[in-house]
Amino acid sequence: MEVLLGKTLEELQAVALQVGLPKFAGKQLAEWLYVKRVSDFHSMTNISQKGRDALAASFCIGRHQPVREAVSQDGTRKYLFEVNDHTFIESVYIPEPDRATLCVSTQAGCKMGCKFCMTGTLGFHGQLSAADILNQIFEVDARISGLNDSTTPSALTNLVYMGEGEPMDNLDNVLRSLEIMTSQYGLAWSPKRITVSSVGLLPGLKRFLDESDCHLAISLHNPFPAERREIMPAEQLYSIREVVELLRQYDFSHQRRVSFEYICWGGVNDTPKHAEELLRLLRGIDCRINLIRFHEGVNRQFANSNERQMEWLRDYLTAKGITTTIRKSRGEDILAACGMLVNALTTDTKKVL
């Protein structure tokens, strides 16, 4: 049955006409789906009973609850969703005093095969639809709002498209979900509240920069192409230098922001020569660098940089003109930290259905 969640206003207007409703009912459908976020046709009280029956006969809403939840000792929550028969993805809710961030997946598994990323060991199991992406947001938000006893429509303040998968490899569905999140007929979020990550797939990246105003995060991890190629196969197709040259064509000095994600490994990419090459590579781009602690999990191939070296790298780059921060690690104990999403049905999870 065809899913309504993830359809644009124009498509919902076509749906209304298809089932014998007036065109303006498409806007009513958008309000029920995206503003009021109903999960059944019965709740759509300003649509006639005949119209609701016609909709239910040909369409489904497309909402489904997570099947499991894990709670970290630091308050991070991880949710497991089934998106197709026996295909699973994870989303991570990260609460902080001044914000509530949800990290969403865009693919089931990942094709990129980065050597340091546990998610890459899953392989690729399919694209997520816009409905699958939005469902993560709506379902987690509903639970968090309940947990916080919130009187506001949304408890979430920020979204990061940094879960399973490479967003630029599923760009049609990513852009569709972003349109619905930011449009007036949808959730009307500011693009400044959303960040989309990429390893640097140039064709998709250029289109994203042209068609979206959301923030961008580039998974960098090593400024030397030859060294980056050893850990990130995508470097063989699109060099980080080509990615940076593309970024130079865009203005990041106003509302839109670009950041570079940089996992630190001791003696591997946290050295003075890497710091100098980072400065050369990114010179002239208004950006920031986020240093990330390596979450090894079952991956013993790499060793984390020590705290003192990460602080040196942060302070050195910042002093040279690139604002650099050390990202606080969250949810590592439940395999919810950066690069650790492997759809694990572990004993610390509980069913939520």
Percentages helix, strand, coil for the chain, rounded to the nearest 5? 35, 20, 40
Active site residue 261: no
- What is the distance between the alpha carbons of residues 344 and 68, in angstroms, rounded to a whole number? 10
Structure tokens at 197: 């990550």
Structure tokens at 187: 């959730």
Cβ distance 44 to 61 under 8 Å? no
Residue 207, judged by CB atoms within 10 A of its CB (0-12, 13-18, 19+), counts as middle
Closest CA to 339 of 329, 348, 347, 349: 329
Cβ distance 231 to 115 under 8 Å? yes
Instruction: Point out the catalytic residue in the list 117, 264, 287, 338.
Output: 338
- Residue 135 DSSP SS3: helix
- What is the distance between the alpha carbons of residues 160 and 158, in angstroms, rounded to a whole number? 7
Instruction: Point out the catalytic residue in the list 69, 90, 139, 164.
Output: 90
- What is the distance between the alpha carbons of residues 244 and 353, in angstroms, rounded to a whole number? 45
Active site residue 276: no
Closest CA to 313 of 333, 297, 327: 327
- What is the distance between the alpha carbons of residues 40 and 98, in angstroms, rounded to a whole number? 33
Closest CA to 227 of 241, 214, 213: 241
- What is the distance between the alpha carbons of residues 176 and 280, in angstroms, rounded to a whole number? 36
Cβ distance 277 to 255 under 8 Å? no
Q: Which positions are catalytic? A: 90, 338
